[in-house]
Amino acid sequence: MAIETDTKLTSSHWGVGVVRTRNGRIRTVEDYSGEPDASHLNGNIAASLNGDARVLRPAVRSGWRDGSACERGRDRFVEVSWDEALDLIAGELTRVRRDHGNRAIFAGSYGWASAGRFHHAQSQLKRFLNTIGGFVRSEGNYSYNAALVAMPHIVGDGFRRHVAEATRWPVISKHTELMLLFGGLPMRNTQVSDGGMSRHRMAGNLAECVRNGVRFVNVSPLRTDVDAGLGAEWLAPRPGSDTAIMLGLAHTVLENGLHDEEFLARYTVGFDRVAAYLSGETDGVRKSAEWAGKISGLSPDRLRALAMDMASKRTMISCVAGLQRADWGEQPLWACVTLAAMLGQIGLPGGGYTIGYGVNGHIGNIARPFRWGAFPQGENPIKDFIPVAMISDMLLNPKGSYRYNGQTRVFPDARLVWWAGGNPFHHHQDLNRLRQAFQRPETILVNELNWTATARHADIVLPVAAAPERTDIGGGQSDNILVPMRKAVEPPGDARVEYEIYTALSKRLGTFDAFTEGRDQQGWLRHLWAQTQDAADAFGARLPDWDSFIAGDIVEVPDPAPGQVFLSDFRADPVANPRPTPSGRLELFSDTVARFGLPDCPGHATWNVPRDQAEGRFPLALLSGQPATRLHSQFDNGAVSVAQKVAGREPVLVNPRDAKTRAIADGDVVELFNDRGRCLAGARVTDDVMPGVVFLWTGAWYDPDFGAPGHRDRHGNPNVLTHDLRTSDFSQSPASHSAQVDIRRFDGPVPAVRAFDPPEFTTEDPVGGV
């Protein structure tokens, strides 16, 4: 007889879920009833956590265990006891630290992991490693790394603060007349936010903008990068041409004397250098609307008219994060600030610019009123790091030098890699190169829920509990709601909560007291809640005691800044509120950056041709983006994600013109290819994507067919096609949106997708009993 248990709340990066269980297993996770516009991604959780791919027991790669040469990613695994797995890990940590030092441990562990203030995968791992002498970390992120490095030079302050201070959408709805959306405003991105989002507010705020007559212009190769309900004008440029478009608009403003000279003189430095570049005085090339039209494919007349409109109306310029994930990705950011400064509306309600709208569902909608308690990572004695997108470079070129943000740095010699809470075989570029790089370390450890490609490339895989399988506190990085996440079921098989794993390891390594500080899981949860209560008291809000909170419903605290306008204080008084740049103003030309001596970044916004386009070997631009069916690669084997596959593969959007010339019909299995790799996908023929461009969603679990040419991916992961070059030596950011490919109908026998199957296991034990 089936036994239903009481429901419990959980929290994910895409919202609050109501967990329903049966016979000790998760039956469904439903959307919270109070949601105004739920994402429905909770529908992925149950099928994934109960699926065949779940890691149930500690496992060791056979070739690593017996010293054979079988490469990672193709080898079999042996399931072992927890004691054996932990003894092996403790021994490897001790060996690497003794022989090579802690600088030989890399634990960047980039990824979104699960929501929760205590059971945060990277914080747990990094705290543990810090108690044994530290590790080399990664710096930055794949979403907007170029902004993290470049914007402090241009505007001052860290870019994360810029995002937190973005002009609120209710302000835009009241004051903005024209909103120019470079890269659109993808609603699929606004389903999620790091750490959790408990209210999806974007649809309601945009509806208010429409009611108030805000006019939207979508500058993107993809029509659906803006919701149809906004009635946006669609201008479809060639991918990678946004900087040229912004410069062409700026030239028109300058040429017609529409730039705000008073604003430029009072609030910026370096406009004279920008004006010389726009006029062609610097390089002999006028950055006119005709010049921009030739590069972008847009009508010069339309660009000129748009520039005149921008100068005559309260205009907000929005630049999505995806523009910087391309060759020379720092430049559209700089050009966006430059164009907005020329219009002179920065700091006014509804005017200026924002970089990052649409990165997640909170920007411009809500903010965290105070800092929630969080599991402390402690102090890392190792100060070395690598830029987040240089994993392959580090592993393939140990002790090699590289440039970064004006510095010359040296890669560490990583002998041991530990990954927790992320999936580099989803987010990193050129996966064939990453596979080569993952053969180099002596030991790779991975904590995982499922047998992803990252787990398959590990030497030791540790099965870990998922969010509904442990008790935690939900609180997003920029949310105003706290969620009681009560444990709903026990972890399956031998999976463990990560705090228990590190506690057991710390006993073996003599750091138990330093890691635990005398607290068990319940002790830490109560401690973090007490910290959160103290912060709430200082803010003027009251929170319930721990027992009432964890047994109750969500708790909402006030929005700290509903009328926020970005840089309004600076505009009101730039002397009293200077920007933290060398000049105290917006640096349209930066002497600091110019002194870096980078030929592709001379100190102001500059146009450079994307590298794959310059080679001209493949005719179609490949774009990829966050899907509406999951967060990145999380729970790709869940019900919502699987239901949207085409022939079991990730959909690729193809324009009818490109499909016709290649005899591709909607629903066909197709092969995308270039010199770096190839993958299969399911064709969706649609005029929502412009001719000359294909759009393949990110996050399909990497599924190489080692018997096929180029180890063809069977499932549709775009990163087998993207190059592993950086934006530039300025920020060393990922540049995946600058790939060129071709596509053809796949007419041979279609191979089965194996991404959701577990690896092959063996019970053979060359070194003594399993």
Identify the three-state secondary structure at position 464. strand
Cα separation, 756 vs 143, in Å, equals 26
DSSP string, 637-684: TSHHHHHT-BTTB-EEEE-HHHHHHTT--TT-EEEEE-SS-EEEEEEE
Name 19's bridge partners. Answer: 8, 29
Place of tokens 């949860």: 525
Q: Is 112 considered catalytic here?
A: yes
Element (H, E) at 654: strand 651-654
Q: How many helices (DSSP H) and strands (DSSP E) are in the chain?
A: 27, 29
Tell me, letter by letter, the H, E, C secondary structure of 170-199: HHHHHHCCEEEEECCCCCCHHHCCCCCCCC
Give how far Cα 130 sits from Cα of 102, 460, 516, 524, Å: 10, 21, 13, 18
Distance CA 457, CA 298 (A): 45
Distance separating alpha carbons of residues 735 and 692, to the nearest angstrom: 19
Residues 305, 311, 315, 316, CA torsion sign:
positive
CA gap 534, 525 in Å, rounded:
14
Known catalytic membership, residue 144: no
Would you report the helix, strand and coil content of the chain in percent, each value rounded to 5? Answer: 35, 20, 50
In 3D space, the residue among 513, 503, 435 whose CA is nearest the CA of residue 711 turns out to be 435
Amino acid of residue 753: V
Q: Of 14, 112, 142, 701, which one is the catalytic site residue? A: 112
Amino acid at 75: D
CA atoms within 13 A on the CB side of 524: 22
Return the bridge partners of 29, or none. Answer: 19
Please report which helix (H) or strand (E) contains residue 659, including its range: helix 656-661
* Catalytic annotation, pick one of 32, 64, 110, 702: 110
Instruction: Name the strand (E) or helix (H) holding 565.
Output: none
Amino acid at 310: M
Rounded to whole angstroms, how far apart are CA atoms 479 and 222?
A: 29
Which residues are tagged catalytic? 110, 112
